[in-house]
Structure 1
């Protein structure tokens, strides 16, 4: 057996044993115990965890590759460092005739002082499961580190194809690092041992243990989560960048634009009115009315801009009439009118006689006294100053830009 350990054998520990096992991997779980696990790393630097990798060798045998690990015993027993300097082969028993089973491959330390086994050594072992219609993996024995679960179907053997390795292996390996090291997470995410501990998750998120949960590192320092990491939020008010460049804020239930707006709507379809009171529908315009809805910001203010290309056309047989076209807006919140349309706040185009020249007019105003978080609607309104004059409106637009 190639698996080497330190401070287990009553006699015979070699200097080589001791050197191989000076690994310093002690990811704490409490003041006196550490997490059992495997030292991370790979030969080419491409993988987090290559130690004790297992692959098939034959129909019923597998190869466990070299690696180093620590196995924590009970509180009084301490931690056992182990090293496998060369790969090891393990062989599985043939499948049960009727039911499948799940075997557990472990690194196991035998310590006669605690288990009465009359053995003081470390081994790579298979803990054989119980055949069952719904098989479960056996429990890991004391002072052992699970590596893989292996499903052994009913009836398999070396003579009939053996274990289907592509679908039978479940990787249970977890890494450990020295105190203060950043843990590369593989397998289950376990609680931290102290505030200020760091880990790097499988999806590339850097996290800090805050004493009760793992918090994404940008959240811990109040920064903006980069677009390249997880979309998981840690608290209401957290910000993140998106791949499209938009800054978003976590509302407590969803990501939304951090600075919504500007809100915009327009119509390039011309229409007219002969009404001398404000209307929201224009004759010959296909879609009416023209509206924009927006959410009021915390500042309670927004900049409102609206306008149109306007033209005044006299009725047939009518001459010499001075007239004006008015475009205004009505601002509502639900069924409540926040600001009524009025001439003083309208965009206006006027002519003094018969010419039918077109005019482009717009105006910019400030909306104030808004209630933060509520949705308001701005509706375009139109009128003419004379029933004998058609006031035409084209290229009409409304824009609302919340103030932050």
Structure 2
């Protein structure tokens, strides 16, 4: 037997079945249900065409959730399985689904307990869609079946007909791997998932997935009256990623030919962009080229968030915030 499930058979479950099937507490979907899906590792349940109308599903492990009363079934395929796609409808195309199916006569009309890979046929229509699944079933792949297709007409073009529908799951507390679709809610506050581009954390308060670490994106800085962008470099902005604060941009007087006075407050940082613990933070900032001395001046962030410049030698016409980085926690 190459398609196995633990805790399905009334009798006859082997120790090998128990070792191969994924066991343990999986990521929850509710108080008494688990998030069903594929267990990541290698290329579980890969699909490849092996003949005109047959496709092979590779080995892998998964969890298939039944009703709340049923619970979740751990499943393993230990050798590749081949399934056959029925010939196409004479007039319309359709979309079939390849699924992992758990049959349990204690909860459905199956004659005997079994677990298998099966094809669920879609409805042939002018605008075909994947079939709705019922019972304890996990969708792995969708197959587009053109009208009139058969082995005699050349069969299915597998490279374009197969659509990956594998979604992934993990152990409780684990990061949900990236799989098919991101339009699902988290199950508890602080749950994590991989989007393929980074991590997201579920916020129960916001009812949404949020980037982790939290990323504000670049936000414009509100400058003090009389100051603005000197039309070179980039406008002044801040960004917070987790506890890390970054600044960028150039600032100068809005009046042509003016300079920044010694000790001038050129802006006040928003609370979320201020250094940790209200501490002062200072650095040597690049400035306009001058005729004598280094082309830098002192810039400070004071405890209340005021940003001030200090230059006793020759007053700057503009300063740069590029590359300034500090922590807020």
Q: After TM superposition, give the deviation of residue 214 of structure 1 in Å.
A: 2.0
Q: After TM superposition, give the deviation of residue 53 of structure 1 in Å.
A: 1.1
Which residue of 268, 272, 282 maps to 1:298? 268
Q: After TM superposition, give the deviation of residue 12 of structure 1 in Å.
A: 2.6
**Separation in structure 1 between the aligned mates of residue 145 and residue 29 of structure 2, nearest angstrom:** 34
Which residue of 134, 144, 147 maps to 2:137? 144
Identify the residue that residue 15 of structure 1 maps to in structure 2: 15
RMSD: 4.2
Which residue of 248, 261, 275 maps to 2:250? 261
Identify the residue that residue 80 of structure 1 maps to in structure 2: 73
**Separation in structure 2 between the aligned mates of residue 16 and residue 307 of structure 1, nearest angstrom:** 76
TM-score (norm 2): 0.69
Q: After TM superposition, give the deviation of residue 146 of structure 1 in Å.
A: 0.3
Identify the residue that residue 213 of structure 1 maps to in structure 2: 208
Identify the residue that residue 254 of structure 1 maps to in structure 2: none
**Separation in structure 2 between the aligned mates of residue 290 and residue 14 of structure 1, nearest angstrom:** 85
**Separation in structure 1 between the aligned mates of residue 289 and residue 171 of structure 2, nearest angstrom:** 67
Identify the residue that residue 318 of structure 2 maps to in structure 1: 400
1:114-263 mapped onto 2 (5 Å cutoff) = 114-189=107-182, 190-203=184-197, 205-211=198-204, 212-219=207-214, 248-249=238-239, 258-263=247-252
TM-score (norm 1): 0.57
1:29-48 mapped onto 2 (5 Å cutoff) = 29-42=29-42
1:352-363 mapped onto 2 (5 Å cutoff) = none
**Separation in structure 2 between the aligned mates of residue 209 and residue 121 of structure 1, nearest angstrom:** 36
Q: After TM superposition, give the deviation of residue 131 of structure 1 in Å.
A: 0.9
Q: After TM superposition, give the deviation of residue 7 of structure 1 in Å.
A: 1.9
Q: Deviations over 1:57-87 (max 9, x none)?
A: 1111101000011111111111111110011
Q: Deviations over 1:111-135 (max 9, x none)?
A: 1011122121001000011111111
Where does structure 1 lack aligned partners over 5 or more consecutive residues?
A: 43-49, 226-230, 238-243, 251-256, 266-288, 310-363, 365-396
**Separation in structure 2 between the aligned mates of residue 264 and residue 156 of structure 1, nearest angstrom:** 72
**Separation in structure 2 between the aligned mates of residue 136 and residue 187 of structure 1, nearest angstrom:** 16
**Separation in structure 2 between the aligned mates of residue 172 and residue 119 of structure 1, nearest angstrom:** 28
**Separation in structure 1 between the aligned mates of residue 13 and residue 179 of structure 2, nearest angstrom:** 32
**Separation in structure 2 between the aligned mates of residue 197 and residue 4 of structure 1, nearest angstrom:** 30
What secondary structure sits across from 2:213 in the alignment? helix
Partners of 2:89 and 2:148 within 8 A in 1:
yes
Which residue of 64, 69, 77 maps to 2:62? 69
Q: After TM superposition, give the deviation of residue 308 of structure 1 in Å.
A: 10
Q: After TM superposition, give the deviation of residue 236 of structure 1 in Å.
A: 9.9
Q: Deviations over 1:322-376 (max 9, x none)?
A: xxxxxxxxxxxxxxxxxxxxxxxxxxxxxxxxxxxxxxxxxx9xxxxxxxxxxxx
What secondary structure sits across from 1:114 in the alignment? coil
Q: Which has the larger radius of gyration?
A: 1
